[in-house]
Chain A
Amino acid sequence: MNNLAPKLTSEEYEKNFAEIHPPFTPNSAAAEANRCLYCFDSPCMKACPTHIDISTFIKKIASGNLKGSAKTILSANWIALTCAKACPVEVLCEGACVYNARGEDPIQIGRLQRYVMDWYVERGMPPIFTPAPKNGKSVGIVGAGPAGIACAAELSLMGYGVTVYEAKSEPGGLDTWGIAPYKMKREDSLNEAKMVERLGATIKTGMRVGDNISLDDLIRKHDAIFLGVGLRTPTRLRIPGEELAGVHDALTFIERVTTRKWSSVDVGKRVAVVGAGNTAIDAVTEAKRLGAEQVMIIYRRSSEEMSAYDFEFELAKIDGVTFHFLTTPKRILGTGHVGAIECVRMKLGAMDADGKRSAEPIPNSEFQIPIDMVITAVGQTPEKSFLAQIPNLKMDRGNVWVNPETYQTSSPKFFAGGDCINGGKEVVNAAADGKKAAHGIDNFIMSNE
């Protein structure tokens, strides 16, 4: 890469990637827990996709029953540690807290959940659930992301023999490889995987289904299969110059950052991120934290339409990110290496099928921005070549179609959940899907008896 941003000192990296939501002390956790009103049938519980009984787990913090609190949390959500740190609580539980309606700050549910889960992990995750005796049935799970892990945990508890096949060298999916290091540590995600192994599930890493092991083998071995394969294929910009050195897709870049050898991750002095979803925001703030001097977002619509959450947008603004709204890249310029990006101004037109206003280029409005690095963050899709091997698998707008009650796909032995069915939502949705799919699988296998 040309024009590299100078490396920082290790103290600077640590400071830049310090947690944005630091843990509670016992004092502050107790004070916050006692502030909770212990609502009945609470709105926070309804707002959580996994429906954790939030006021109950908080009440247990107040009474000093932390083990019971962990049980309340985990019995609803197997990915509770990651969720506590990475969930967009502002739009979920905390956004629904009744204190908002009283004009006061909501209870810090995410941090309280983290307090409990950290406590539980620090104590070596003592057993709190007893799996049912083995029922002799077996389920194969493709992908050890949050959807796969949650499904594996729930099935193990019900007595199923569970094998999780994971292509990568470590389990956890994007929780391990994708979530911003200032939100959580990848060890948190690895611990969640460990918890599932303790319930009796086997996780086989370095096993890409369709590659290291055939799909037919899986079909033969297992009574049902759960697909928690996420979205592997980055969407390309399809513009000239995309092949130049210095152009990266966001996931590849972010994966390098989360594995934490920050000084070995090169960034240009001037970095442009294309796209304005949460992944784009992560990429741009992470580039900035690695030492990039000028960071910008290029997005074809306006701030109204962008899918990044308000608090992510705020974070980017605090980090000094420049936003080029109503702008789309036309060409990436450079000889062998990125030197500039040519963009065109856009205007908004009528609503399109997705309910977003369409964006149209304004003729003759092209302009160039000198740039050293381009990161593309315009979405990912499930890996079609893999999914095509599954007999009769119906797709729906690029994602795997499932029955919304049972999570069964159109191919009866296959169930699915997480990003590969919703096109990319949050960890907590994957956690909820995995758990619900486990019950769909249980019904399917037991009714085939």
Chain B
Amino acid sequence: MADLSVNCGGIKSPNPFWLASAPPTNSAYQVCKAFEAGWGGAVWKTIGEPVMNVVNRYGSIDYNGQKIIGLNNIELISDRPIEVNLKEISETKKLWPDRAVIASLMVESKRETWHEIVKRTVDTGCDGIELNYGCPHGMSERGMGSAVGQVPEYCAMITGWVTEVSTIPVLVKLTPNISDIRFPGRAAKKGNASGISLINTINTIMGVDLDTFELNPSVGGKGGHGGYAGPAVKPIALNMVSQIATDPEINLPISAIGGISTWRDALEFILLGASSVQVCTAAMHYGFRIIDDMVEGLSNWMDEKGFQSLDDVRGKSLRCISDFGNLNLLYKAVARIDESKCIQCNLCYVACDDTAHQCIDLIPHNGKNQPKIRESDCVGCRLCFIVCPVEKCISMVRVDDGKEAITWNELMKQMPQPLTWEALRQFQHKHGIEIH
């Protein structure tokens, strides 16, 4: 059996699955129950300044009969006092020495206040600290959470205050509500963080009720933006994790968060460089028991592929990440339909004819219409492949001979500047690329 243990910035756990700082990690009762179920670590629900929550805290996007594609919340940090939380953290760590117990912190932006809470946290015996620079509502208006995460200078300054007194690893948790995640990432590095956690939740309004005209969720008729999480945010998180992982200035271990529901999701993040992964929404939907399949599925996959440890897997896909200007302009693929699988729903036809490049014909066949692709006209956009409801019915088949390759950046070195349509057309023509 493969070794699933991880070390994320000095924080060790028997498997890479941690519960994210959120309601599932609100109390010792919950965290102990989660460890019992098999979770490798838990980031405690953020503790700090006194807060008071409102009622109707969550909103959900349900899609085609599937519940909670995305989950939004207007919850604040822990509404239990600091001493209660620290006492429970300490007790939990004593009971579970092999699991990662991480305290998430958020206090007002004063050096002494941070120093005090960090020292008290270290005294609990927990394995690490996570700095919540992400909460996008309630706390940000009070100058904390994403108000810090959105200003790299604050990020670096507060991280510095924490690391100058902390004797345990410090992870900085970033907000995605920013145009370039690398800036706060670099700031965390500057503040001597041991690692980076991302992403926190994304600003969203979940919906409007067509009968009451109120927002969803509504707090007695009023509402506002909340933080979005769950399966829908995974692609956004994957991108941001890859940005941090590939930035040469950062070079820190990553604890990846955002839409992780299965071992497959987790692996994608690990392939993009994550050391540990954190889960919130999936646990809130189904309970702690999901860990069973996560651990077992990951382990079976590793055995099947012949990987001994997660170190062999981590970051394996990073080599594929590239800028647009470095992609091969002469790589050519066309869509091909396997007619033995086709059920003649004609979704590919209507998608291509109305919204792509009009290269599918409907040919009458046995009283039905069989779509056929005119490969010479197919630009290889992949829309039909995506809409086709039958697995492996449409495939994208490579048709170039692979002998020639040129990227946009290389091409621009050869082309007259400023670039003209005429020059580009000539290049395309030479390579048999016809744009209709």
Chain B neighbourhood of A56, CB < 8 A? 289, 292-293
Verify A27–B264 contact, CB threshold 8 A: no
Interface string of A234-261 (1 = CB under 8 A from B): 0000000000000000000000000000
A85 within 8 A of B: no
Count of B residues near A, CB < 8 Å? 17
Chain B neighbourhood of A60, CB < 8 A? 293, 296-297
A2 within 8 A of B: no
Chain B neighbourhood of A191, CB < 8 A? none
Q: How far does the Cβ of B395 sit from chain A's closest Cβ, in whole Å?
A: 15
B287 within 8 A of A: yes
Known: A27-B390, A38-B286, A40-B287. A65 touches B293 (CB 8 A): yes
For A68, give its contact among B264, B287, B290, B293 (CB under 8 Å). B293
Verify B263–A63 contact, CB threshold 8 A: yes
Cα distance A133–B43 in the bound complex, in angstroms: 40
- B residues 352-408 with Cβ under 8 Å of A? 390-391
Chain B neighbourhood of A185, CB < 8 A? none
Chain A residue with the shortest CB-CB distance to B389: A27
Interface string of B289-329 (1 = CB under 8 A from A): 11011001100110000000000000000000000000000
Q: How far does the Cβ of B264 sit from chain A's closest Cβ, in whole Å?
A: 6
Known: A26-B391, A27-B391, A34-B66. A63 touches B287 (CB 8 A): no
Interface string of B27-68 (1 = CB under 8 A from A): 000000000000000000000000000000000000001100
How many inter-chain residue pairs (CB < 8 Å) link A and B? 37
Cα distance A65–B293 in the bound complex, in angstroms: 7
Verify B66–A63 contact, CB threshold 8 A: no
Chain A neighbourhood of B287, CB < 8 A? 40
Cα distance A209–B297 in the bound complex, in angstroms: 45
Known: A34-B66, A40-B287, A56-B289. A63 touches B391 (CB 8 A): no
Size range of the chain A interface in the assembly: 10 to 19
Chain B neighbourhood of A63, CB < 8 A? 262-264, 293, 297
Cα distance A440–B262 in the bound complex, in angstroms: 38
A64 within 8 A of B: yes
Verify A64–B264 contact, CB threshold 8 A: yes
Interface string of A41-77 (1 = CB under 8 A from B): 0000000000000001001101111011001000000
Chain A neighbourhood of B290, CB < 8 A? 59
Chain A neighbourhood of B262, CB < 8 A? 62-63
Cα distance A59–B296 in the bound complex, in angstroms: 12
Q: How far does the Cβ of B284 sit from chain A's closest Cβ, in whole Å?
A: 13
Verify A65–B296 contact, CB threshold 8 A: yes
Known: A56-B289, A63-B263. A68 touches B391 (CB 8 A): no
**Can you list 8 A-B contacts (CB < 8 A)?**
A35-B65, A38-B286, A40-B286, A40-B287, A56-B292, A59-B293, A60-B293, A67-B300
A-to-B contact residues, CB < 8 Å? 26-27, 34-35, 38, 40, 56, 59-60, 62-65, 67-68, 71
B-to-A contact residues, CB < 8 Å? 65-66, 262-264, 286-287, 289-290, 292-293, 296-297, 300-301, 390-391
Which 8 residue pairs across A and B have the least CB separation, nearest first?
A: A65-B297, A68-B296, A63-B262, A27-B391, A67-B300, A60-B293, A63-B297, A63-B293
